Structure 1
Amino acid sequence: MRGDIPIGIGNLSSLVMLSMRGNQLSGSIPASLRRLGNLQALFLTDNKLRGYIPYQLCQLDNLAYLFLSSNQLYGSIPSCLGNLTASLRYLSLASNSLSSTIPSTFWRLAYILYVNLSSNYLIGHLSQDIGNLKVVTEVDLSNNNLSGILPSTIGGLRDLVNLPLANNNLEGHIPSSFDGLLSLQLLDLSRNNLSGVIPKSLEALLLLKYMDVSFNRLQGEIPTGGPKRNVEVAEEATSLPQLLWRRVSHVELLRGTNGFNENNLLGSGGFGSVYKGTLSDGIDVAVKVFSLQIEGVFKSFDRECEMLSNIRHRNLIKIISCCSEIDFKALVLDYMPNGSLEKWLYSQNSLNILQRLNVMIDAASALEYLHHGYSIPIVHCDMKPSNILLDDDMVAHVADFGIAKLLDGGDSITQTMTLATIGYMAPEYGLEGMVSTRGDVYSFGILVMETFTRRKPTDEMFGGEMNIKQWIAKSLVLPDAKIDEVVDANLLGIGTEQEDDDHVRKRDCMSAIMRLALTCCAESPEGRISMKEVVATLNKIKTKFLKDAAAGRRGVLLNRPLVQQRFN
C-alpha cells in the first residue's frame, strides 16, 4: 500500500490491533490515532513514514506493542512514552533517524520487556536509571552515538537475555557488576572506546553464549574460567577480531584438514580454496585459505574479516574465527553440508519449485539485511549460485564477501575497479565500475533466472543480440511463446511420468517469478526495485503457490469416488 495513513483511521474506536507493516506508506503518523483508546498493538514497521513520532501516541493507555522501526522518522523520542508504564511492554524504534538524547522519563517503563532503539543517531550518556527496567529481556542500543560510561546498574537486570551495545562511543571499564546478569546469553560491546580489563566476574554468567568486545582499548588477560565451551569471545585487536575461546592456529588447521588434502577440497575461487576441516573439539568447519600471491588478496582477506565479524543474519555465512600469520591467512566458517546452490542446480537430484523459491527468499532476505538492516549499507557485488550455500535444513546462506563494498559517508553509490563475475554484474558496474545496492538487485535477478531455467547467463546459447534477459522476456510477451520453453523441465514435469494436472498453477508461479526477475534486471538502476520489495513479492508468490496447491488437492479429493477417498 502506498500513500498517507488516512486521518479518518482514528474513527475506528473499537480497534484493538493495527498492523500495516511491510508496505510503502509515506507521510507522517497521524495524530488522530490518539482516538483509538482500545488499541493494544500498533505495527507500522518497514514503511516510508516521515516526520516526528507524535506525542499523541502517549495517550493510548492500553498500548502494549509499539513497533515503528525501519521508517524515516526523525526528531527525538517523545518523553511522554514514560507515562505508559502500566501498558507498554514491547517497543521498537530501530532503523530510523532519531536524534537527541534518550529522555530521562523513558526509564520509568519498569515493566517493559523489549526495547530496540538501534541504528539511529541517539546521543548522550546512558542513565543509571536503566536499572529501573527490572523485567526487561532485551535492550538493543547498538549503532548510535551514545557516549559516557556503562551504568553499573545494568548488572541488576536479572532477566536480561540480549544486550547489544555495539558501535557507539561508550568508554570506561566494563562494570564488574555485570556478573549479576544471570540470564544473559548475548553481550556485544564491540566498536566502542572501552578500556581496562575484562572482569573475571563475568565467568559467573552460566548462560552466556556469545560475547564480543573487539575493537575497543581493552588490555590484560582474558578470563579463562567458567563455561566457555559455547561462548564466542572476540578479543581486543587493532584490525582483526579473533575468538578467544578457540585459538585456531595454522597448525590446528593443517591437522584438521589433513594438511589441506585434496580429498577435503570443497571448492576454489578467485582468492583461494575452501577445505572441509574438523577442529580439535570435533566441530566441522569450512576453512577458506587465501592464495597470498594473488594481487589484492590481503585487502580481500581484511574485508571479509571485517564484514563477517560485524554482520549477523540467519541467511549470511557465519565466521567462527580467522588465522592471520605472515605467510598464511584463512577464515574459519560454518560448514554447510549441502554445498552450494550451483551444485544442486546442475546435479541429477535437482530442487523442486518450492525448494528453489525458499532458497531465493533466503538469499533475498540476506541482501535486504545488507542493504537496509545494517548501519552502513553493504553491497555484496558477487551474487551467483556458487556463493549461496545450504545447511542441513536446506536454509540458504550468502557467502564470499571478498569484493563487497561499504557505502559509507551517506553515499548511495561508489566507484571501484574490482570486477565481479561476468554475466551477473549490472551494466553500470561492468562499464563504469559504479557500485550501489541496485547492482546487487540486478545480480539477484540474473540469479533467479538461472535458478529456475537451469541456464547460466554465459551459456553458449546466449550470444550476439540474445541474452538470458531477452530470452525470458520473449517467453512472457510473445503470443506464440510459452514459459515452458525457458523454465527447467524438471520443475513442470514436462515429458516425464511425473507430468500432472497442475501445470496452470506451476506456470502462473513461474511467470510471476520471471516477471519479478526482469524487474530486478532493469537496464537503469533507477528502474530496479529494492530488495525489501523483492522479499515481499517472493513471499506473496510463495503464499499464492501454496494456497493454490492446497485448493487443488481439495478439488481432486472431492472429485474422487467416496470409496477411494476413504482409502486416501
Structure 2
Amino acid sequence: MNQFSNEIPREIGGLQTLLHLPLRHNKLQGSIPDSISNVVGLEFLDLSDNNMSGTVPMSLEKLQNLKYFNVSVNKLYGEIPSGSPFKNLSSDFFVDNEALCGSSRFNVPPCLSSSKHRSNRKKLLLSFLLLPIAVVFVPMTFVLLWISESNLIGSGSFGSVYKGILRGGTTIAVKVFNLQLDAAFKIFDTECEVLCSLLHKNLVKVITSCSNLEFKALVLEYMPNGSLEKYLYSHNYFLNIRKRQSIMIDVACALEYLHHGCSSPVIHCDLKPSNILVKIRCDVYSYGVMLLETFTRRNPNEFDGDLSLKQWVSYSLPVAVMDVLDANLVTQTGSRLQMELDVVASIMKAALDCCAESPARRTNMKDVVGMLQKINIQLLAC
C-alpha cells in the first residue's frame, strides 16, 4: 500500500533467500518478471491491485514452496499455469483481469486451442498494444529519421548510438539501450538521473529521453568531429602538441567538474580516447593512461606480458622522452626542440602521477587541471 510505480526489477530474481513479497495495492506496471522463478524458497507473493499486464509466467511452476499467489485486479491475460503449486490456489486470486484463461476451477474461460483463434487473438492484442504507443509517440515534437545500421555511430556494453535528425533539421545522437540485458534498465534510469542534471561546456548535453516498456533511449547533442581516437590513429588527421594539450585540459576540466563540482561525485568509469566525447580515483587512473596514449600515440592494448604503457613511459623519463614521444610531434630543432621535450616530459610526469598504483597517491583532478594549465603556459612560450 505505497505508491510504487514502473516495473518490478528483473534483478529481484537474485534474492535467493526471499520468503515473502507483498506488493499489493501499488501502481506497478509491466509484466511479472520471469526471474522470480529463481527465488526457489518464495512462499508468499501478492501482486494484487496494481496495473500489471502480460501473462503469468509458466516458469513460476518451479516455485514448489509457493503457498499464496494473488494477482487479482490487474490487466493480465493468457493461460494460468496449472502445475504445482497452482493446483491449490483459490480462484479469488485471479479475478478482475483482462483476459485470463485456463482451468475451470479458476472460474475463467478455457484457453482457445485452435491456431486460427490464437492467431486472431494475438492480432487483437497487438492492435490494443500498438494503439496507445501510436497515440503517445506520433504527436512528439521530433521525428527520428533513418535510425538504421547505416547511421550507427558506435556501440557499447548496454546499447548502440545512432545518428538522427529532428523535424527541424537538427542532427542528434540517439543512445538506444539493449533491453535484452537486465542491467540495461538500471543503467538507463541511472544515466537519465545523472546526465540530465549535468551542465558543463565539455560534456555532451542530454536533449531528452524516450522510454516505454519496449524502447528506452537518450537523445544527445551530436558531435560531428568524431572521437580523439580517430585523430590519433588515422593517417588523414594530425594533432600537434598544442592541440593535444588543449584537448586533455578540456577533458581534465570536465572530470574536475564531475568529481568536485557536483552535489555528489559522478564517476565516468569508461574513460578512453573513443569516448572523448566506479570510483573517482579509477577515473583519474584512466585519464592518466589516456594522457600517455595521446602524446605517445601508442594503444595501451599493444603491450604484452608484464610491460604496460605506463611502465614503458616511466622507464624513459626524464632523459629519453624522444624514445616514447609520437614521432609526428617532433617538428622543432635545437633549443626549441629541447623546450618542447621538457614540456612533454612534464605532461607525462603528470600522467604518471595519475597512474599511481595506490589510489590514495593518485593526483586529484583539481591538481591535474592546475598542473596542465601551468604546462600550457610553458608550451605557448616555445
TM-score normalised by length of structure 2: 0.61
Could you say what secondary structure the match of 1:458 adopts?
helix
Q: Which residue of 1 aligns with 2:282?
A: 439
Which of these residues, 429, 447, 450, is aligned with residue 293 of structure 2? 450
Partner of 2:5: none
- AA aligned opposite 1:289: V
Distance across 2 between alignment mates of 1:444 and 1:353: 17
Among 328, 336, 352, the residue aligned to 2:240: 352
Decide whether the 8 Å contact of 1:252 with 1:280 is kept in 2. no
- Give the counterpart letter for 2:368 in structure 1: V
Q: How has the CA–CA distance of structure 1 residues 483 and 309 changed in structure 2, closer, same or farther, with 3 Å as cutoff?
A: same
Letter in 1 for 2:254: A
Q: Which amino acid aligns with 1:257?
A: L
1:382-440 CA distance string (max 9 Å, x none)? 11111112xxxxxxxxxxxxxxxxxxxxxxxxxxxxxxxxxxxxxxxxxxxxx431111
Letter in 2 for 1:445: G
Runs of 4 or more, structure 1, over 2 Å off, are 247-257, 499-502
Supply the distance in 2 between the matched residues of 1:368 and 1:253 (Cα, whole angstroms). 35
Cα gap change, 1:319 to 1:484, in 2 (>3 Å) = same
1:485 equivalent in alignment to 2:323: yes
Query: Paired residue for 1:463?
Result: 304
**Does the Cα contact within 8 Å between 2:174 and 2:217 map onto a contact in 1?**
yes
1:507 aligns with 2:341: yes
Instruction: Give the match's secondary structure for 2:218.
Output: strand
Q: Which amino acid aligns with 1:491?
A: L
Q: Among residues 385, 390, 394, which one is paired with 2:273 in the alignment?
A: 385
Q: How many angstroms does 1:283 deviate by?
A: 1.2
State whether structure 2 residue 376 is matched by structure 1 residue 542. Answer: yes
Which SS does the other structure have where 2:263 is aligned?
coil
Q: Which runs of 5+ in 1 are unaligned?
A: 1-246, 390-434, 494-498, 550-568
- Distance (whole Å) between structure 1 residues aligned to residue 257 and residue 232 of structure 2: 25
Q: How far apart are the structure 1 equivalents of 2:141 and 2:305? A: 47
Corresponding residue number in structure 2 for 1:375: 263
- Any idea what SS the aligned residue of 1:257 has? coil
Amino acid corresponding to residue 463 of structure 1 in structure 2: D
Q: How does 1:116-515 map to 2 (within 5 A)?
A: 249=137, 255-258=143-146, 260-348=147-235, 349-389=237-277, 435-459=278-302, 462-477=303-318, 482-493=320-331, 500-501=333-334, 502-515=336-349
Greater shift after overlay, 287-296 or 327-336? 287-296
1:76-155 matches, cutoff 5 A = none
- Matched letter for residue 300 of structure 2: P
- TM-score (norm. length: structure 1): 0.42
2:142–2:167 Cα contact (<8 Å) kept: no
Deviation at 1:352, TM superposition (A): 1.1
Deviations 1:283-342 (A, max 9, x none): 111111111112311111111111111111111111000000111111100010101111
- 1:238-257: CA deviation from partner (whole Å, max 9, x where unpaired): xxxxxxxxx99489799533
Q: Which has the larger radius of gyration?
A: 2
Residue of structure 2 equivalent to 1:137? none
Q: Which residue is 1:208 aligned to? A: none
- The residue aligned with 2:59 is none
Secondary structure of 1:522 counterpart: coil
CA distance in structure 1 between the partners assigned to 2:239 and 2:153 by the alignment = 20
Q: Is the 8 A contact 1:257 1:264 kept in 2?
A: no
Identity %: 52
SS in 2 for 1:267: strand
Residue of structure 1 equivalent to 2:42: none
- Whole-angstrom distance in 1 between the partners of 2:210 and 2:313: 45
Q: CA RMSD in A?
A: 2.1
Q: In the alignment, is the contact (CA less than 8 A) between 1:253 and 1:277 conserved in 2?
A: no
Relative to structure 1, the CA distance from residue 332 to residue 463 in structure 2 (aligned partners, 3 Å threshold; closer, same or farther) is same
- Residues 1:512 and 1:296: Cα distance change in structure 2 (over 3 Å): same
1:378/1:437 contact within 8 Å kept = yes
Higher relative contact order (CA 8 A, sep 6+): 2
Residue 379 of structure 1 aligns to a residue whose secondary structure is coil
The 3-state SS of whatever aligns with 1:514 is: helix
- 3-state SS, counterpart of residue 225 of structure 2: coil
- Report the residue type matching 1:380 in the other structure: H
Bigger strand share? 1
Greater fraction of residues in helix: 2
Q: Which residue of 1 aligns with 2:60?
A: none
Contact 2:141 2:167 in 1 (8 A): no
Is the partner of 1:323 in helix, strand or coil? strand
Quote the residue 1:28 is aligned against: none
User: Contact 2:241 / 2:329 at 8 angstroms: preserved in 1?
Assistant: yes
**Aligned pairs, how many?**
246
- Closer, same or farther in 2 for the Cα pair 1:337/1:492, shift >3 Å? same
CA distance in 2, matches of 1:252, 1:492: 53
Gaps of 5+ in 2: 1-134
